A and B are shown apart, each in its own frame.
Chain A
């Protein structure tokens, strides 16, 4: 088991390195630069700015310079948010995204699994069709439709909840963003769980468990669920990464100060270091969460370990 974890850990370091390299050169290839403003700067000012941020150097030199700094934990200054380093900006924004994402993920995973198991146990009943219909709807209605509609109903008409912003971390501000963020994922988890549970409930070992006269609770909750959760677990990694690191759209819709907006703004403003910072952050999240998922997987399914 330890060997398995170590080997997975070793192989993820180069992944992050390659992602970093790819995105570094991609964003440098894009036309325009961080200081190409609508009102052009004087050439001298431009030259000075470029010199300060090492933009006058060849790209490969900048790359080595950047890599060296990153290895020392320095992600550089932001080009657009002057006086802030990228690390400061991201560390400021990350807690908001994490709180929002953690809630959304919890609701999506547990809600989705519960609904999926329920639907699987009542396969082809009206409850099953209803749940799957709603889940199909949740999967197709974009969250920038769900968001405004829920806001109109609960924030504007009924005035139960605030329309946006973080408030002082008051939970009421978070209810709508969490719902909007978790709903599409909840729908996917419910569908996945239902599909794999239906298969698992027909598996030989579940039939055997039933034949031994085990109570339904342990047949379903232990023997079937263990097999039925496999696809859910494997889907968990990428979803967790995207939900935890902030949904650009939900943050923009409810004007929340999370990481997501730096991503789009950074790319549009050619804020090279900020974009790189967010890319590295998100890919680290993806890699680490996938690693965790793999480990969970190996625990649940011993066949993986010995492969």
Chain B
């Protein structure tokens, strides 16, 4: 007996539809760039606050509505005036004032004896810190004070309350992205369940369930959101549940339509003939085939939801101060467009870039899952 050396080729590796779709997606330049953009924006929003010295809620009273700048605030030429005002508040007179690097020296004099507690006034403005009295003259009528000058960087400026815009954009981005994703998940869960049940059961149940969806479509949905917000209060978790709860209608329709048409397809019939159980058919043949349109819809729903949240913010029904969202920042910026355009510009850039990336990604996914148009 001679051994038959098996030289048969390795078994053919099938490629799942999802893998093929991903391969097509990887070739789509707009979509891959979009993924990169989304990753960068998410990193900025979620990790950025750890590297940014400013907290989104900290108010710098000395720096209200300062424009974006790469150099540090305060500018040296403004310090004299600030120190002047500070010293006067302490009922003393500023004789000389000089700044060298990070520290300042000021000589003050007064008609009465200088109380050492005057240094409290020195630390009060955001510009100065760590004041100590270095020398006091023998008659206690004049003194020399030294301290640090706080250098603050506001790369994107500050808002009208003197809060760092970069920090606010990052936190606002966290909220907007989270609202977008969580509300979409809510819509996804309700919509897929509802649509699959409706499509799978068919018949009278399907009729009634779809009739209900149709009625919901005729309900002015802004009214729905306003009612939910008014009813639930303005808690952030409730906002995205509310938004998700009104956006599942399209999802339900899509999944139902898919389920209906898939039920009648030959490969489902073949699978039935081979004796697969219903659950196996749904898992192996129906769900992988609905996932395409569902994924596409989900990617396109996220920007819609973010946009919807921004409308709510514009109407004053969104998140509450000092918490913020991109929509909130944009609507605040829109009302200050003339005086401080950067308040509108920077949040809008983040907002629009993210939404465009999501839209292009959605389009790319659609092309990847449904390559007929290629």
Q: Which residues of A contact B (CB under 8 A)?
A: 15-16, 18-19, 22-23, 26-27, 29-31, 136-137, 139-142, 144-145, 147-149, 152, 156, 195, 198-199, 238, 245, 248-249, 252, 263-264, 267-268, 275, 278-279, 282-283, 286-287, 290
Contacts and interface: CB of A to CB of B under 8 A. Distances in A.
B21 to A, nearest CB: 19
A144 B330 contact: yes
A18 B215 contact: yes
Contact of B315 (A16, A248, A279): A248
Contacts of B330: 142, 144-145
Contact of B217 (A141, A198, A252, A286): A286
Given A22-B219, A152-B337, 16 more contacts: A15-B214, A15-B218, A29-B231, A136-B356, A136-B360, A144-B330, A149-B337, A249-B311, A263-B226, A264-B226, A264-B315, A278-B223, A279-B220, A283-B218, A283-B219, A286-B217
A148 B344 contact: yes
Contact of B223 (A31, A142, A267): A267
A142 B219 contact: no
B373 interface: yes
5 contacts: A19-B215, A19-B219, A144-B310, A148-B344, A156-B338
B227 A27 contact: yes
Main secondary structure of the interface of A (DSSP, over half): helix
A30 B331 contact: no
A26 B214 CA distance: 19
A249 B315 contact: yes
B356 A137 contact: yes
Given A140-B352, A140-B356, A145 B227 contact: no
B325 to A, nearest CB: 12
A279 B351 CA distance: 31
Contact of B230 (A136, A198, A267, A290): A267
B22 to A, nearest CB: 22
A144 B220 contact: no
B355 interface: yes
Contacts, number: 103
A15 B231 contact: no
Contacts of A27: 227
Interface string B285-313: 00000000000000000010001001100
Main secondary structure of the interface of B (DSSP, over half): helix
Contact of A23 (B214, B219, B338): B219
A198 B372 CA distance: 11
Contacts of B230: 30, 267-268
Which of B218, B307, B355 is the most central at the interface, judged by chain A CB atoms within 10 Å of its CB? Answer: B218
B334 interface: yes
B8 to A, nearest CB: 42
B314 interface: yes
Interface of B: 214-215, 217-220, 222-223, 226-227, 230-231, 303, 307, 310-311, 314-315, 327, 330-331, 334-335, 337-338, 344, 348, 351-352, 355-356, 359-360, 372-373
A15 B215 contact: yes
Contacts of A144: 310-311, 314, 330-331, 334
B68 to A, nearest CB: 18
B334 A147 contact: yes
Which of B223, B227, B352 is the most central at the interface, judged by chain A CB atoms within 10 Å of its CB? Answer: B223
A160 B165 CA distance: 33
A214 B307 CA distance: 45
Given A23-B223, A267-B230, A283-B219, A141 B348 contact: yes
Contact of A142 (B215, B227, B314, B373): B314
B29 to A, nearest CB: 12
A199 to B, nearest CB: 7
Contacts of A148: 334-335, 337, 344
Nearest to B360: A136
Contact of B231 (A31, A141, A195, A279): A31
A214 B359 CA distance: 38
Contacts of A195: 373
B314 A283 contact: no
B188 to A, nearest CB: 21
A145 B348 contact: yes
Contacts of B359: 136, 139-140
A243 to B, nearest CB: 13
A249 B314 CA distance: 8
The 3 closest A-B pairs by CB, nearest first: A140-B355, A282-B220, A148-B334
Nearest to A238: B217
B246 to A, nearest CB: 12
Given A141-B348, A286-B218, A26 B227 contact: yes
Nearest to B308: A142
B373 A198 contact: yes
Contacts of B360: 136
A287 B218 contact: yes
Contact of A140 (B307, B311, B344): B307
Nearest to B232: A30
B338 A141 contact: no
A263 B338 contact: no
A230 to B, nearest CB: 16
Contacts of B338: 152, 156
B356 to A, nearest CB: 5
